[in-house]
Structure 1
Amino acid sequence: MRYTDIAIIGGGLAGSTAAAMLGRAGIPAILIDPHTTYPPDLRCEKLGGTQLETLRKTGLADETLRATTIDGEVWEARFGYVVTKKPSDQHGVMYDTLVNTMRAQIPSSVETLYTKVVEVATSDERQRVVLADGETISARLIVLANGLSISLRHLLGLGRRIISECHSVTLGFDVVPVDRPTLPFPALTYWPKRSTDRMAYLTLFPIGNTMRANMMVYRPMDDIWFREFRENPEATMRAMMPGLDRMTGGFKVSGPIKIRPADLYVTENYRQAGVVLVGDAFATSCPAAGTGTDKVFTDVERLCNVHIPNWLATEGMDRIKIDMFYDDPVKTECDAWSTAKAWHLRSLSIDNGPTWRARRWARFIGRLAQGMMGLKNKPETRIPASLPRQESHEGRIA
């Protein structure tokens, strides 16, 4: 039997970040994950804004950001026109690169076991973890960071309640220019023309020498539109975003098109002695809203910087201690903000009520005014002299 203070189950972004932080703090920990190298996966593909602030609190930002590509500036466009150009701190990175870069920062004092967990048992004192080869680990605390996996949940009596099935769908692919060496912008966010297109936005951003595209839509997975997109992605994009060619020039989609639906769910019966859930293991977020990495970094930063050191200072690991994490005001505020943003973006994108239509136009006019003021001395940017005619259904402006 192995003994440790912390057993981390799951080596994705949350688990790897926790292992690196605990190891650097000198806290005995073991990371358990079946993948020796984290495989490609369509998840977070860029970091920015508040995510960078929280990442810096983990002490892991410098090495992590060296593996990314910063865009520096983003163009925002609709109706075939640039609405504004503004500075940007978005760092593009493929998810497997992000996780493997985080893993590389785990000190050698943290042992990584490349296997699966088949059994767990918890108590107010020590926790038992049984591996696929029969080996047993005794830990003071289990950090469950196994993402969307449903394994082990029945052993812990955890439930999963779906709030919104297939809340949004992410399409990820690469874009290359035709008859020119590069696309004319550092990064681009393009808003759809109509709310009936059921699209949030298209974002193009650099990762290394590649221009990566994430397209966020609100459609059921049996929608024939997905087949049409796979068969002719360029034509489908042009139909949903008239004037896109004004921004890009000729372009084509290269490489595989990956499609990932996202359910919004929350875990039930999670307040238990001896185990704490982080990231998607606790509750999911909407990829279109871009808050998933905020939740992961917030969960892990609060857990490893604040709560685990305090818990280990005294005997036991009862529910009173565990509740401190779930009731942490920084965590609860982040969770509530993430959920609210998921619903707000969906309504702003596809809701045709008068309030949401007014909000879309208000934001469009506001950003157009900002763009005209900031770019009036840049003749290469096309700003329309007047607003385009409002159609019967209006797409999202954000």
Structure 2
Amino acid sequence: MRQTDIAIIGGGLAGSTAAAMLGRAGIAAVLIEPHDSHPPELRCEKISGGQQLDRLRKTGLAEAALRISVHDAQIWIARFGRLIDIRPSQQYGFMYDALVNAIRTEIPAAVEHIRAKATAVVTSDDRQIVTLSNGEQVSARLVVLAHGPSVALYQALGIERRVIGACHSISVGFDIAPVGRAAFAFPSLTYFSERTALRTAYLTLFPVAHGMRANLFVYREMDDPWLRQMRREPAAALDACLPQLRAMIGDYAISGDIRIRPVDLYVSSGHRQAGMVLVGDAFASPCPGSGTGTDKVFTDVTQLCNVHIPRWLATPAMDAAKIVEFYDDPVKQECDAWAEAKAFTLRAVTLDNSLFWRAQRWARFLGRLGQGMVRRTRETMNPSAALRIRTRSS
């Protein structure tokens, strides 16, 4: 039986980041993940500047992540077929599998990658036993569950997922290119919904290594005919949910795989147990449209690996009294509450036609319009600064 301090189950963004951070800290760990290379998957495809970038930097892995990303430098903001602002941007675009695989290259050799699936976990106050699909077993002081979709494993452990938003949103990812010209006029674009009946939050276009990437966020049922149209005639489906888009950005073509990902919002229960801890999607799902998924992953993993695991390993046992310290961590709790609130706010501001939410939509539109006017006035007064921004974006 293999012996280690930490057994990480799942090699997505959360698991790979944890493995890299623990390995760099000299903590004995193994990564249990069947794939050598993470397969293509529609999850986060860009990191924004400010708070999100700061959270990435706290992992110590920002250099590896940004190395495979494309910085757009400038973003256009539009609504109702109208450009309302052009502002500096710190967005970095990438494909999710490229990001995860870049993080995996930072995992030290001392962290063994076991290419198998975890089929069972037996926990206790002392050591945990993980049984693998290849028949092997791993004994660890702590198990980190970082494999979001593995429902059966969690149910066997008595962990349940309470759905708080069934089919809360649907994300659509695809490649897009201009027709009849070499490039779009903008480095990146965020285009907000034109009216609530279209059930569309927004479209974001941003550069990645192979071209321009599109992420579209809608609120529809899985049997909606629009989804079938999106798979078969994606350009027509995009025209249908954002009718004024083509007139603003020019003719376009959609290519490559159309990836559609419905999301149920859920939170875990029964997880405050000895010997194991849940991070990222394993603990609670984010809404991709709210852009908080990487915030939750980086916050969970940073607090766990930098704060709690070193303290837990310094004393014997791994009882529930230790584990709850992570779930009660005020930094984690603040991030979780913020992400959940943002998910429901985005849905309401997109769909709700009550007086309050109509006012919220107009306040956001007028606020962005006002910011754009102020920015253009400043650029008129300081043209050299505006030229530097345009030069960087080109």
Normalised TM-score (structure 1):
0.93
Where do 1:297-376 residues align within 5 Å?
Answer: 297-376=298-377
Q: Which moved more, 1:110-119 or 1:227-236?
A: 227-236
The amino acid across from 2:27 in the alignment is I
Question: Does the Cα contact within 8 Å between 2:81 and 2:245 map onto a contact in 1?
Answer: yes
How much does 1:376 deviate? 4.8
The amino acid across from 2:93 in the alignment is G
Name the counterpart of 1:392: none
The amino acid across from 1:39 in the alignment is P
Structure 1 Cα separation of the partners of residues 93 and 157 of structure 2: 37
Name the counterpart of 1:176: 177
Structure 1 residues 12-33: Cα deviation after superposition (integer angstroms, max 9, x where no partner):
1000000000000000000001
Name the counterpart of 2:387: none
How much does 1:375 deviate? 2.2
How much does 1:101 deviate? 0.5
Question: Does the Cα contact within 8 Å between 1:121 and 1:155 map onto a contact in 2?
Answer: no
How much does 1:154 deviate? 2.5
Structure 1 Cα separation of the partners of residues 266 and 74 of structure 2: 34
Structure 1 Cα separation of the partners of residues 218 and 338 of structure 2: 21
Structure 1 residues 352-395: Cα deviation after superposition (integer angstroms, max 9, x where no partner):
0011001111111121122122225889xxxxxxxxxxxxxxxx
Q: State the SS of the aligned residue for 1:89.
A: coil
Name the counterpart of 1:72: 73
Q: State the SS of the aligned residue for 1:280.
A: helix
Question: Does the Cα contact within 8 Å between 2:48 and 2:91 map onto a contact in 1?
Answer: yes
Structure 1 Cα separation of the partners of residues 243 and 75 of structure 2: 19
Name the counterpart of 2:2: 2
Structure 2 Cα separation of the partners of residues 210 and 346 of structure 1: 29
Structure 1 Cα separation of the partners of residues 379 and 4 of structure 2: 60
Name the counterpart of 2:293: 292
Gaps of 5+ in 2: 381-394
Name the counterpart of 2:14: 14
Structure 1 residues 280-299: Cα deviation after superposition (integer angstroms, max 9, x where no partner):
11010100101011000100
Structure 2 Cα separation of the partners of residues 133 and 175 of structure 1: 42
Gaps of 5+ in 1: 380-398
Where do 1:234-273 residues align within 5 Å?
Answer: 234-273=235-274
Question: Does the Cα contact within 8 Å between 2:199 and 2:241 map onto a contact in 1?
Answer: no
Q: How many residues align?
A: 379
Structure 2 Cα separation of the partners of residues 158 and 191 of structure 1: 38
Where do 1:62-101 residues align within 5 Å?
Answer: 62-101=63-102
Structure 2 Cα separation of the partners of residues 214 and 157 of structure 1: 35
Name the counterpart of 1:188: 189
Structure 2 Cα separation of the partners of residues 52 and 366 of structure 1: 24
Question: Does the Cα contact within 8 Å between 1:81 and 1:246 map onto a contact in 2?
Answer: no
Structure 1 Cα separation of the partners of residues 109 and 145 of structure 2: 21
Name the counterpart of 2:281: 280
Structure 2 Cα separation of the partners of residues 151 and 309 of structure 1: 30
Question: Does the Cα contact within 8 Å between 2:6 and 2:30 map onto a contact in 1?
Answer: yes
Structure 2 Cα separation of the partners of residues 94 and 374 of structure 1: 31
Q: State the SS of the aligned residue for 1:356.
A: helix
Question: Does the Cα contact within 8 Å between 1:44 and 1:293 map onto a contact in 2?
Answer: yes
Structure 2 Cα separation of the partners of residues 159 and 80 of structure 1: 44
Question: Does the Cα contact within 8 Å between 1:271 and 1:322 map onto a contact in 2?
Answer: yes
Structure 2 Cα separation of the partners of residues 154 and 78 of structure 1: 44
Question: Does the Cα contact within 8 Å between 1:176 and 1:251 map onto a contact in 2?
Answer: yes
* Distance verdict in 2 for CA 1:209–1:378, change over 3 Å: farther
The amino acid across from 2:28 in the alignment is P
Where do 1:146-185 residues align within 5 Å?
Answer: 146-185=147-186
The amino acid across from 1:177 in the alignment is P
Question: Does the Cα contact within 8 Å between 2:266 and 2:285 map onto a contact in 1?
Answer: yes
Does residue 30 of structure 2 align to residue 38 of structure 1? no
The amino acid across from 2:251 in the alignment is G
Bigger proportion of residues as helix: 2
How much does 1:128 deviate? 0.6
Name the counterpart of 2:56: 55
Q: State the SS of the aligned residue for 2:171.
A: strand
Name the counterpart of 1:113: 114
Structure 2 Cα separation of the partners of residues 70 and 247 of structure 1: 23
The amino acid across from 2:161 in the alignment is R
The amino acid across from 2:45 in the alignment is E
The amino acid across from 2:193 in the alignment is P
Q: State the SS of the aligned residue for 2:90.
A: strand
Structure 2 Cα separation of the partners of residues 293 and 14 of structure 1: 9
Q: State the SS of the aligned residue for 2:318.
A: coil
Name the counterpart of 2:26: 26
* Distance verdict in 2 for CA 1:132–1:76, change over 3 Å: same
Structure 1 residues 168-208: Cα deviation after superposition (integer angstroms, max 9, x where no partner):
00010010111100111000011121111011000000002
How much does 1:229 deviate? 2.5
How much does 1:135 deviate? 1.3
Identity of counterpart residues, as a percentage? 59
How much does 1:228 deviate? 2.2
The amino acid across from 1:66 in the alignment is R
Structure 2 Cα separation of the partners of residues 159 and 265 of structure 1: 10
Q: State the SS of the aligned residue for 2:89.
A: strand
Q: State the SS of the aligned residue for 2:298.
A: helix
Superposed CA RMSD: 1.3
Q: State the SS of the aligned residue for 1:308.
A: helix
The amino acid across from 1:158 in the alignment is I
Structure 1 residues 141-182: Cα deviation after superposition (integer angstroms, max 9, x where no partner):
000011122131132111111111110000100101111001
Structure 2 Cα separation of the partners of residues 376 and 183 of structure 1: 25
* Distance verdict in 2 for CA 1:271–1:178, change over 3 Å: same
Structure 1 Cα separation of the partners of residues 270 and 325 of structure 2: 15
Structure 2 Cα separation of the partners of residues 242 and 116 of structure 1: 46
The amino acid across from 1:44 in the alignment is C
* Distance verdict in 2 for CA 1:343–1:212, change over 3 Å: same
Question: Does the Cα contact within 8 Å between 1:28 and 1:110 map onto a contact in 2?
Answer: yes
